[in-house]
A and B are shown apart, each in its own frame.
With several copies, the nearest count.
Chain A
Amino acid sequence: MRIRYFAWLKQRVGRGEEEIELPAEVRTVGDLKAWLGARHPRFAEACAATGVVKAAVDHEFAEDDRPLAGAREVAFFPPVTGG
């Protein structure tokens, strides 16, 4: 599965994307955040603050309870600021 990071989360994690082998026990976006947080302490730090880390599964906004079954790409980013 491809994981992508944007804006200052990319700087915190130190990379824009990575390929991971999804462990069987990681079933939701929330599980994935926790699992990635163990690998990237500064990502865990950002996730600890409410509402600061948003997620998208295959280009659709997703909440923590969103299942990952069948997903190809999950992205994490701060609240958007375009326009």
Chain B
Amino acid sequence: MTVRVVDGPFDPWAELAAFCRGRTEAGAVASFTGLVRGEHGGERILAMTLEHYPGMTERQLARLETEARARWPLADVLVVHRVGRMLPGEPIVLVATASAHRAAALEACAFLIDWLKTKAPFWKLEETPSGERWVQARSEDERAAARWER
């Protein structure tokens, strides 16, 4: 399974180690890891809860992977996204790509996280000292995803 939603802590470095173990056909491995920040918009973040839409999430992530494989010559793709409540510094998401070609691995990794940010049904709820707030979608994310449209 190269696309997974997990509802507890995961170790992106162990995931990457397993992803690369015995890999001798594709020398280029790119990754992106998102960590829970301890501060956002000037306010301290005590915790973050990721809600998602079970069923639709897996479907959209699988579609992202299919799209990336159609665009770049990838030997392998890994996407792990955590849901539930997590603390600052903990990993939220890992995207990894392996290819014989450095540019393919790097571009596909950027593509996957850009598309994931706008096309996968996840929502972030932040806990701050002054209460809970839902994170607003950012127009930069829409723009980042738009550059991959064709």
Interface positions of A (Cβ within 8 A of B): 4, 6-8, 56, 59-61, 75, 77-83
5 further A-B contacts with Cβ under 8 Å, apart from A78-B123, A79-B137, are A8-B134, A79-B118, A81-B138, A82-B92, A83-B122
User: Do A83 and B93 have beta carbons less than 8 Å apart?
Assistant: yes
Partner of B124, one of A4, A59, A77, A82: A82
Contacts A81-B122, A82-B93; is A6 near B53 (CB within 8 Å)?
yes
| Inter-chain contacts of B52 with A (CB < 8 A) | 82
Listed A/B pairs (14) with beta-carbon separation below 8 Å: A4-B53, A6-B51, A6-B123, A7-B134, A59-B60, A61-B119, A79-B137, A80-B117, A80-B123, A81-B135, A82-B81, A82-B120, A83-B93, A83-B102
A79, B120: Cα distance in complex, Å:
10
Question: Is B136 an interface residue when CB atoms closer than 8 A count as contact?
Answer: yes
Which of B56, B120, B136 is close to A83, meaning CB atoms less than 8 Å apart? B120
Residues of B contacting A82 in the complex (Cβ-Cβ under 8 angstroms): 50, 52, 81, 92-93, 116-117, 120-124
A14 → chain B, closest Cβ, in Å? Answer: 16
B134 contact from A4, A56, A59, A78, Cβ within 8 A: A78
Is B34 on the interface with A (CB-CB < 8 A)? yes
Whether the Cβ atoms of A56 and B53 lie closer than 8 Å is yes
- Taking CB as reference atom, which chain A residue is nearest B83? A82
**B132 CB to nearest chain A CB (Å):** 10
* Contact call A6/B121, Cβ cutoff below 8 A: yes
**Chain B residues closer than 8 Å to A79, beta-carbon distance:** 118, 137
* Chain A minimum-CB-distance residue to B138: A81
Binary per-residue interface labels of chain B (125-150) against chain A in the complex, 1 for a CB within 8 Å, 0 otherwise = 10000000011111000000000000
Residues of B within 8 A of A83 (CB): 34, 81, 92-93, 102, 113, 116-117, 120, 122
